[in-house]
Structure 1
Amino acid sequence: MTVIIVSLVVLLGLLVLSVPVASSIAGVAIIVGFFFSDYPIFGSIGEITWTTSTEYILLSIPFFVLLGELLLHSGIAKKIYFALNVWLSWLPGGLMHSNIAASTFFSSISGSSVATAATITTVAMPQGEKYGYNAGLFAGSIAAGGTLGILIPPSLNLIIYGFLTNTSIPELFIAGLVPGVLLALLFMFFIFLHSIYTKGVEKEVEKYSWKEKLSELKNLLPVVFLFMVIMGSIYSGLATPTESAALGVIGTLIIIYFSKMLNKEVIIKSVEGTLKTTGMIMLIIVAANFLNFVLMSVGLIDEIEYLIEDLNVSKYMLLFIVTIVFIILGLFIETLSLMVITIPVITPVMISMGFDSVWLGIYLIILIEMALITPPVGLNLYVVQSIRKKGTIVEVMKGCIPFVLIMLLMAFLLIIFPQITLYLVQFV
């Protein structure tokens, strides 16, 4: 228990001091290892770094990041948003439905919540201001929609969960599909009810003819094509998740080329963004693996298992405790860090209590999604606010509250109806 307290205090202290996440995690590992471990753990840093960074499955991360960056900088993402706007703007809540739908579409090919939130904010906020939408709720719908990027396949976070727990990536991908789409529909249902109840204060949006709607479908075809390439190649057995990511990049380049959007500037900006994001993710994963190695060397996982046995709680009471812990930690720890710090410690215990590894992964990802839009460290909150450059971040936080409650509802539904997650897995 002393190790847990020291680890959390040191980690939160370093994060409060704005020390980079990877350095904070490594700092905790060094301090805990120095004071609590009898093993020569520091001699293993090189081996851990090499072993972690050469895992084949992690090669998919830069490919999926590059795919999202190419779509963003080429302008295809903008076309996707306006195509969905043409189809959905007539609904009560109009453009906010477009925010959620565009986030869902973009999530299905980018795998990144931050990239999704940044992209949709860039193209949607000017439209929201033009038609007089409630600034907080409109921004909140974008931030919440962006969280779908870590649940709807292909998801970088699901890849990392699979890597950390040795769980099948294809099974995780297919398991996240129905919950991801259902969560998007719940978001849209709330927007629909809210707009009817408040009777909408926004200006009436432009009406579109069926001819215009059908014409815009061509701008959705790239997303459908890429999703079929990525997911189809995996489930047909033609490619591994890593190879499918590479195929996705090739498909994106082909689409951009024939759309006459491929140029030097797009390539340079996309590669730069990919290098920055991939470097950040890999440093965090390496540092977290070192921390997990240190915690195992001091017997923390065994200590947690003994603690749970002494508590003599049921599996669902344990799930409730884990849920509360994730919600609290999500207030203070960035999502990727939250994953790599907690999952290697918690999942072995949860699985030993009878929880399915795939179901547990989707459930925890939904809790981690919440951390993206809960203050004070919700990353999507700051992404949206930094791009909108108007009002205060408190407006965005308030706008996200209903969507946080919907995520809790979704987590509850997964407990009652686990087949929401597991039904499609049986066909993989």
Structure 2
Amino acid sequence: MTPTLIVPFLILIAILGSGVWVGLGLAGIGIFSLEIFRNMPVEKLLAQSMWNGLSSAELLALPLFILMAELLFRSKFIDGVFGALEPWLRNLPGGLLHTNIIGCALFALISGSSAATTTSIGRITVQELKSRGYSERLSIGTLAGAGTLGFLIPPSTIMIVYGVLSQTSVLKLFAAGILPGLLLSACFMGYVAVRAWIDPAITGTSEPVTRSELWRQRLSKLPQLLPFLLLILAILGSMYGGLASPTEAAAFAVFATAIIMAFERTLTLSTLRDAAIGTARTVSMLGLIIASASFLSVTMGFLGMPRAVSAFVGSLHLAPLVLILLLIVIYIVLGSFLEGMSLIVMTLPIVLPLVEAAGYDKVWFGVFLILMVELAQISPPVGMNLFVLQGLTGKPLSQIVRAALPFFTLMMLFVVLLAVFPGVVTGLPALLLGP
């Protein structure tokens, strides 16, 4: 391996290992590498590449979707969704454990954030399921796995970032995430149902009700889902109906969320202030990472790193599926030490050309990469969802990791399935938006 490949990698380990912010670290890697190996005006390249990275029109949707998620987190919205789902799920094998999975999938449709999805659903279901005698380990595991759906099911903030960095249609990425998200949810529910069939004790006990009373509860609580349905219509319906771009849909969704909260009487100046501060913090962090990632991508191009790595991998003559299996292993290892956004921005310039050369398109790879980020969310020692669940439950991290392991395994197998059948990802975007 040449010094232009080894030295930036060593700089990466030194900078990120020192605890420097990821965004500053990525920029630092690019600056040091160019100063060492190239004679060029680094400051001009830094300014131009950062400006280009942040001036994409698609990025306008990012702060709006984050603001919507911050508002929803402070509303009574999720309480109503849980109440409406409870009578419909209580008689399924696994009972109310399915509320974690379906609740996370529903909230993912309007939040775009994995941590927000896990927190919003978990703050309601963790204690509720425990009080009803459900297996705490399986309750935590379903939250860990299903909470990651916030990145996969649109609208996803990380999909927007990937779309900008890879120059891929955000609308196509959103469409590509729908079917895999639903299928992965079904896999989680199937696992819970099998576990309940093997060991009925994990579902605890519930107060018996007559069939007529159960249907009365189901029908009477259905109106609690109306705000959710309106919000989904505002976001997905407007985009795929050709009425709005992702940015316009995000703006309308924020407005609709505010209207719903006003009817709930949760829209206060304090709520708006807290949501705005939370949004500003998240967007500032993401903005710095995106700008630095754009610069690092340009730096790698000048150093010839993508070309060198592509040539090396090409010389191995790996079959496409073998390449994907190798990438899964690499991303799982990296995901144990890097958070999701860093995982994407640091590997994308090198890995994307390899995957395209193997015959997979950018939309498919976007979903693949997001699933790898989801695995990183529940991979020790830095998995964000693990720490969220530790805060919600007060359990040791080791117990949460063991609870999440079956769902981690299911997600790995699901990624392999998508590699064998890529049409699961690419079919819906082609149907809705054309080739």
Specify if TM > 0.5. yes
Corresponding residue to 2:420 among 416, 419, 428 = 416
Corresponding residue to 2:251 among 246, 252, 271 = 246
Q: Return structure 1 stretches of 4+ with deviation > 6 angstroms.
A: none
Q: Which residue pairs with 1:407 in the alignment?
A: 411
Contact 2:8 2:29 in 1 (8 A): yes
Structure 1 residues 39, 237: closer, same or farther in 2, change over 3 A? Answer: same
1:26-425 paired onto structure 2 within 5 Å: 26-207=27-208, 209-388=214-393, 390-425=394-429
Structure 1 residues 22, 194: closer, same or farther in 2, change over 3 A? Answer: same
Pairwise CA distance, 1:202: 4.8
Per-residue CA deviation, residues 366-391 of structure 1 (Å, 9 max, x unaligned), is 12211110111111101111232x22
Look up the SS of the partner of 1:261 in the other structure. Answer: coil
Q: Which amino acid in 1 is paired with 2:405?
A: I
Structure 1 residues 12, 207: closer, same or farther in 2, change over 3 A? Answer: farther
Distance 1:3 1:378 in 2: 31
Sequence identity of aligned pairs in percent? 35
In angstroms, what is the RMSD of aligned CA positions? 1.8
Distance 2:34 2:384 in 1: 30
Q: Which amino acid in 2 is paired with 1:407?
A: M
Pairwise CA distance, 1:140: 2.0
Look up the SS of the partner of 1:74 in the other structure. Answer: coil
Deviates more, 1:121-130 or 1:374-383: 121-130
Contact 2:31 2:42 in 1 (8 A): no
Distance 2:284 2:88 in 1: 38
Q: How many residues align?
A: 427
Contact 2:196 2:203 in 1 (8 A): no
Distance 2:425 2:314 in 1: 28
Deviates more, 1:372-381 or 1:11-20: 11-20
Pairwise CA distance, 1:191: 0.8
Pairwise CA distance, 1:4: 3.8
Deviates more, 1:287-296 or 1:102-111: 287-296
What residue ranges of structure 2 are gaps of 5+ in the alignment?
A: none
Structure 1 residues 314, 38: closer, same or farther in 2, change over 3 A? Answer: farther
Contact 2:133 2:205 in 1 (8 A): no
Contact 2:72 2:257 in 1 (8 A): yes
Deviates more, 1:372-381 or 1:252-261: 252-261
Pairwise CA distance, 1:92: 3.0
Contact 2:135 2:204 in 1 (8 A): no
Distance 2:314 2:339 in 1: 30
Structure 1 residues 293, 125: closer, same or farther in 2, change over 3 A? Answer: same
Pairwise CA distance, 1:261: 2.3
Per-residue CA deviation, residues 13-56 of structure 1 (Å, 9 max, x unaligned), is 44344332222222322332222233322332222222222211
Contact 2:53 2:165 in 1 (8 A): no
Q: Which amino acid in 2 is paired with 1:400?
A: A
Distance 2:119 2:4 in 1: 38
Per-residue CA deviation, residues 119-156 of structure 1 (Å, 9 max, x unaligned), is 11211121132123333332121121110011111111
Structure 1 residues 314, 200: closer, same or farther in 2, change over 3 A? Answer: same
What residue ranges of structure 1 are gaps of 5+ in the alignment?
A: none
Deviates more, 1:303-312 or 1:402-411: 303-312
Contact 1:12 1:332 in 2 (8 A): no
Structure 1 residues 39, 316: closer, same or farther in 2, change over 3 A? Answer: farther
